[in-house]
Chain A
Amino acid sequence: MTRVRRLRVGQSRSAVALLALVSLVILAASIVIALGIGPVRVPPADVLTVVARRLHLVAGHGVSVLDDEIVWQLRLPRIVAAVAVGAGLAQCGCVLQSLTRNDLADPYLLGVSSGAAVGAVCALVLGWALSEVPGRYSVAVSAFVGAIAALAIVLALATGRSGELPAGRTILAGVAVGQLCGAFTSFVVMVFGPRDGARAVLAWTLGSFSGARSGDAILLTVVVGIAVVGLTWCAPLLDAFAFGDVSARSLGVDVRTVRWALLVATALLTAATVAVVGPIGFVGLVVPHVVRLLVGPAHRTLLPLAAVCGGILMLWSDTAARTLGAGQEIPVGVVTAIVGTPVLVVLLRRQARRT
């Protein structure tokens, strides 16, 4: 008689509340600690004073102007952006794994990242840019346009006669468009790229928060915040997909509409993150699995908790990325892959033993 061996927190509201509280405390503590880490170390007490003063909670004079600038202007936007992107990608991963019933689904499933790469290459290498867009945003805007174009092609390829989007065909269409975009990106870099063009494109495809400004951080926080609330609201609909489409329909879910709405919503959210910080792998794939092991597959608990855990993971990955390499940043995508791969391997072995 094998019972499910895991924290059975899915059963009791108080245990879920406790876990939520603990993870939020860890997130807050991580933010405070990470704000202090860098070439100039700022003790947590000073970090808290800076933040409290900026939020007009205290009229403190005990912080130096330098500490204030480093913590509030230099590090905070980047850290907020990292938490928002991590949370957003983890959310999208949960939703896509549920909708496609595929353990390997991640936020870039629908060709969003490869489409964005095409857009980024056009801006970085070919120098195509929309003239109205200020230079700093030209790559972000063309990446977003590329992502949306790729998404549109994937949806057009996958949609059936009566408007349905079967999971298998959607995944295949995503793979096909991804391959084509990858070929285009490589071709442009090899043929037209100056020598440092390839380097710039490679750096972009590994993701970085170094360009994140306060405007980006606010935008991402608002978008991800809306997504967390909206998707958690849809939790019972996602639960209904546990036994497939027919079962979901017989439970009163309008499968066609729900799948369209959620696929497009998660792809737009992902496109927004890719435009700002580039594609960052593994967070959207691994975090949903880990959180599911902790609290079970019920989405009302899974989605908010995955958001917090994704935020924590991305925050520490970016902190490692900006501090570990001497004099040079490590691409954050490399850090998430180094952390994510062992976790994924452990999960796969665990699943292999079970079956």
Chain B
Amino acid sequence: MRVEADGLGWDADGQVILSDVTTVLEPGAFTAVVGPNGSGKTTLLHLVAGLRRPARGLVRLDGVPVHALSARRRARQVALLEQHPDTTLEVTVRQVVALGRIPHVGRWPGARDPGAGLVEEAMRRVEVHHLADRSWASLSGGERQRTHLARALAQEPGLLLLDEPTNHLDLRHQIALLSSVSRLGLTTLAVLHDLDLAAAFCPRILVLSQGRLVAAGPTQGVLDGHLVEEVFGVRAAVTHTDRLRVAWSLPEGPTP
């Protein structure tokens, strides 16, 4: 799916949260959104997902404005993995993944879902099928994120949106989750905090600062030491040895 953001803007309580974001996500591209806290990353994700109506500008999915779609049709095209989705209900992994079929199934009781097999397939693709009958409460953080990734896949989306998917995961699970995502080959937009992970997995990058898009394009080329220092106020070196790496260094002199 080709995604275009055209002059996107959003305000909250009279404050400009996001302003004039114009960019294109090419079909199949895995793009990272990085930026300091409060730079508007989650807002951008929600605007692209159609969960909020932009104050300015618009989002097009394959040329169709996202707000021209009904909520149900939109959910068949865009899947969102939010930060820490949680529930107190006693649901199993399979039931959580099956939630992804809701936008596709007819409302009439007894309506059969022709894509019901996709639930099992989605669990296999992100390797949670062996957990299918486990309860949500018994899962580790990494298993929960993979379960929700499988739920998102069961939605059969053309666009996958991930909001800090690696938060609270250990290094091994961070790498495992992003590897699974990049193997999917879906158009993906992921908010990431770890610049090194973004550099390793995402061929393209959007850099936000104070609600503005300050850089966009291929990660190798866009992301460099100057940009990191300017946006994050941290000295860093971006190198390309076996892969693109971001190494930061401690500030010199007394720490502020």
User: Which among B15-23, B69-77, B177-185 touches the partner chain?
Assistant: B69-77
In this complex, the member of B51, B80, B86, B102 whose beta carbon has the largest number of chain A beta carbons within 10 angstroms is B102
Cα distance, A151 to B78, chains bound together (Å): 36
Measuring CB to CB, which residues of chain A are less than 8 angstroms from any residue of chain B? 1-4, 6, 8, 10-11, 101, 103, 232-237, 239-240, 242-244, 246-247, 249-254, 292-293, 296-298, 300, 354
User: Which among B57-65, B104-112, B166-174 touches the partner chain?
Assistant: B104-112
Cα distance, A244 to B85, chains bound together (Å): 8
Cα distance, A237 to B89, chains bound together (Å): 16
Cα distance, A298 to B23, chains bound together (Å): 40
By a CB distance below 8 angstroms, the chain A residues around B92 are 4, 296
By a CB distance below 8 angstroms, the chain A residues around B80 are 246, 250
In this complex, the member of A2, A250, A293, A296 whose beta carbon has the largest number of chain B beta carbons within 10 angstroms is A250
How far, in Å, is B227 (CB) from chain A's closest CB? 31
| Contact of A249 with B107 in the complex, beta carbons under 8 Å | no
By a CB distance below 8 angstroms, the chain B residues around A242 are 87, 89, 91, 96, 99
| Chain B interface category by residue count | 35 or more
| Contact of B88 with A247 in the complex, beta carbons under 8 Å | no
User: Which among B2-10, B132-140, B192-200, B231-239 touches the partner chain?
Assistant: B132-140
Nearest CB to that of A234 among chain B residues? B107
Cβ of B79 within 8 Å of any chain A Cβ, yes or no, is yes
| Contact of A254 with B71 in the complex, beta carbons under 8 Å | yes
By a CB distance below 8 angstroms, the chain B residues around A298 are 95
By a CB distance below 8 angstroms, the chain A residues around B108 are 233
| Contact of B102 with A252 in the complex, beta carbons under 8 Å | yes
| Contact of A3 with B135 in the complex, beta carbons under 8 Å | yes
- 12 further interface pairs, Cβ-Cβ under 8 Å (given A101-B88, A251-B155): A4-B134, A233-B108, A237-B102, A239-B102, A243-B86, A243-B87, A246-B80, A250-B80, A251-B75, A251-B99, A251-B100, A252-B75
By a CB distance below 8 angstroms, the chain A residues around B120 are none
| Contact of B82 with A246 in the complex, beta carbons under 8 Å | yes
Q: Which of B87, B91, B103, B107 contacts A233 (CB 8 A)?
A: B107
Q: Which of A236, A244, A253, A296 contacts B90 (CB 8 A)?
A: A296
Cβ of B49 within 8 Å of any chain A Cβ, yes or no, is yes
Cα distance, A250 to B49, chains bound together (Å): 8
Nearest CB to that of A254 among chain B residues? B71
Nearest CB to that of A247 among chain B residues? B85
Nearest CB to that of B73 among chain A residues? A252
How far, in Å, is A168 (CB) from chain B's closest CB? 15
By a CB distance below 8 angstroms, the chain B residues around A10 are 95
Q: Which of A246, A247, A296 contacts B91 (CB 8 A)?
A: A296
Nearest CB to that of A293 among chain B residues? B90
Nearest CB to that of A243 among chain B residues? B85
Cα distance, A254 to B74, chains bound together (Å): 11
Cα distance, A232 to B107, chains bound together (Å): 10
Name 8 interchain pairs, CB-CB below 8 A, sorted by A.
A101-B87, A234-B107, A239-B102, A242-B89, A243-B85, A243-B87, A251-B155, A252-B76
By a CB distance below 8 angstroms, the chain B residues around A249 are 51, 71
| Contact of B134 with A2 in the complex, beta carbons under 8 Å | yes
Cα distance, A305 to B179, chains bound together (Å): 43
